[in-house]
Amino acid sequence: MPKNAQNAEILHRLHAGPKPLANAWDAGSARVVEEAGAAAIATSSAAMAWSAGYADDERLPVAELLAGCTRIARVVKLPLTVDIERGYGSSAPEVGRLGDALIDLGAVGVNIEDGQAADGPRRLSERIAALREAAARAGVRFFVNARCDVYLGPAADAATRFDEVLRRARLYIEAGADGIFVPGLGQIADIARLAGAIGGKPLNVYAGYAGAPTVEALSAAGVRRISLGCGPLQAAYGLLGRIARQMSEQGRYDEMAAVMRPTAELNRLFD
């Protein structure tokens, strides 16, 4: 079986049980995550943008997104799934062509979101269908994780908000989504209720913040994918800031020395 098709099948099978994903943003971070025992590599759109010198929210040029993903795909063996925000395109056919390009470079899945626009659910449904067509053209069982941003918008009545998430989730599943991702959904009772209401499709939640439920608690609630998103890069930047401040303010290097990995060990990641 070709590598893409094989990795696509692996990614689907991984969603049979809870899988935490420490998201990567470049080739180096992807190899570190892979070496640490990850089952798949998932990118973070915000982290990829920041590491390339852009703000989040589709400010990263598509060419740079594809170049970064190509570098990741070159050095990892694990299935690769890419966060494409709202699709980096103004139409469903454009998003489908992005799907073609990602499959060509070795990706076997995407996260794609509906955002805050009023027509977001309709647009995302169309884009999911376009990605399904791209997967059919390539003969790859591409995993489409549909992200619902209701809980990231203005606060609303809890019951109304949950009902809207469920309505959208069913639309996206009908359009061909393989999984549902709901960042901002943090109450275990609501998580369990949603996991049981989406027809057996895998539920993905975000845990890249202080106080997030544990993997054990999320697993018990029926979650099958747990994402750290841009959290790992935020932590890395926080550590870098501490290292730089300690050097400039105290003339010391203890923060760096405590966590740095040997040069030979890092070289071996890419041999």
Residues 224-240: pLDDT tens digits? 999 999 999 999 999 99
Domain with CATH 3.20.20.60 in the chain: 3-229
Six-digit token string for 171: 């639309």
> What CATH superfamily is the domain 3-229?
Phosphoenolpyruvate-binding domains (3.20.20.60)
Residue 259 host element (H or E) = helix 254-259
- The pLDDT mean for the chain works out to 96
Per residue in 188-214, pLDDT (tens digit) is 999 999 999 999 999 999 999 999 999
The per-residue pLDDT for range 3-46, each reduced to its tens digit, is: 899 999 999 999 998 989 999 999 999 999 999 999 999 999 99
pLDDT of residue 1 exceeding 70: no
72 and 115 Cβ atoms separated by less than 8 Å: no
Q: What are phi and psi of 64, to 5 degrees?
A: -75, -35
Q: Which residues of 15-47 are buried (b: 16+ CB within 10 A; e: fewer)?
A: beebbebbbbbbbbbbbbbbeeebebbbbbbbb
Mean pLDDT of 95-124: 97
Q: What is the pLDDT of residue 6?
A: 96
Spatial CA neighbour of 125 closest among 176, 188, 50? 176
Give the predicted TM-score (pTM) of the model. 0.97
**Position 155 pLDDT exceeds 80:** no
Two tokens at 266?
């890092």
